[in-house]
Structure 1
Amino acid sequence: MTSAPTDSELVELANTALYEAMERGDQTAMERLWLNDEYFDVVCVHPGWPVLRGRREVLRSYALIMASTEYIQFFLTDVDVQVAGDTALVTCTENILSGGPAEEDGALGPLVGQLVVATNVFRRSGGGWKVWSHHGSPVLAGGADDEDVDGADGADGADGTGPEGPAQPSP
């Protein structure tokens, strides 16, 4: 006999569904996943983008990203789910592999890897747990074991690029 999934498990499933919809380029699924409530306006911050407010603007941004991304895959790590009543907070690291347009011979375009830390906020609604807010921030510095993280090499990041160069926007 199996027990009913906990709220934490349901939220984690909803979080995974968000990334799977992106990978498939499924706008219909994306629309089902985002909160549609007259009292709570959705908010989204993609890395390098301004704050997007409102369901229409947020969903349009995902449509644009999915239409211009030939290939994308997310490997989520460090996933942490916290539930408080009808609100849930998920933090995770998005290990992203994405590719550009196919080459003339049909081969997959160049692949690029990227790390983004994300915070996803969910609200419980009549249709289950829905995304209320997404905030993604690129990881610009390496781990604590990397050299020159403090800018001792002269690249202090004053120009906004940091030692790794400018951040690349991602979903």
Structure 2
Amino acid sequence: MSRTDIEAVEEVNAAFYEAMERGDFDALSALWLEDEISCVHPGWPVLSGRGEVLRSYALIMSHTEYIQFFLTDTKVALIGDTALVTCTENILSGGPSGEAGELGPLVGQLVVATNVFRRTPAGWRLWSHHGSPVLTDSDEEEEEGTD
């Protein structure tokens, strides 16, 4: 395991999130393997195959006017030609509002993600992405705890 492999995986992982932020579907598509891939977006069923996975990103991009990812707790594990990246996605996003050209309220989300990459002759490519929302205590539970 060389440091350069870890750096290369970190770079392609960052490129994945940057493509989402820019809404660059072509760049995002190029980061995925050509063969069997899978994806789980928070609250979605498992998506399998390149067509299904890439359609989901096209749908998300077409309905999201603004999204920014602040990644924390990023860890890379590398075994042979497979890399596992875990991180916390601190997501700031906004969608269309009723006003012409103005974003709706920006909403923050916390999602933990696992991204699996495989080494190919063209570099590291995404094999699987799994995002799961981090559940927080509701206001009701917090109020009960203060009594």
TM-score of the aligned structures, taking structure 1 as reference length: 0.77
**Alignment partner, residue 25 of structure 1:** 23
After superposition, where does 1:128-143 map in structure 2 within 5 Å?
128-141=123-136
Residue 126 (structure 1) shift: 1.2
Identify the structure with the greater strand proportion.
Answer: 2
Identity percentage over the alignment? 71
Tell me by how many angstroms 1:100 deviates.
1.3
CA distance in 1, matches of 2:30, 2:71: 21
Regions of 4+ moved over 2 Å:
105-108
Relative to its length, the structure with more helix (as a share) is: 2
Q: Which amino acid aligns with 1:36?
A: E
* Cα deviation code 1:11-40 (max 9, x no counterpart): 000000000010011110011000113xxx
In structure 1, distance between residues paired with 2:31 and 2:71: 18
* Partner Cα separation in structure 1 for residue 31 and residue 116 of structure 2: 12
Gaps of 5+ in 1: 154-171
Q: By how many angstroms is 1:103 displaced?
A: 4.3
Aligned residues: 142
Aligned partner of 2:110 in structure 1 is: 115
Given residue 65 of structure 1, which amino acid in structure 2 is its aligned partner?
Answer: I
Q: CA RMSD in A?
A: 2.2
Number of the residue aligned with 2:56: 61
Deviation sequence 1:28-76 (CA, Å, 0-9, x none): 0011000113xxx101000000000001110010000000001000000
Structure 1 counterpart of 2:32 = 34
Task: Give the secondary structure class of the aligned counterpart of 1:6.
Answer: helix
2:86 corresponds to 1:88:
no
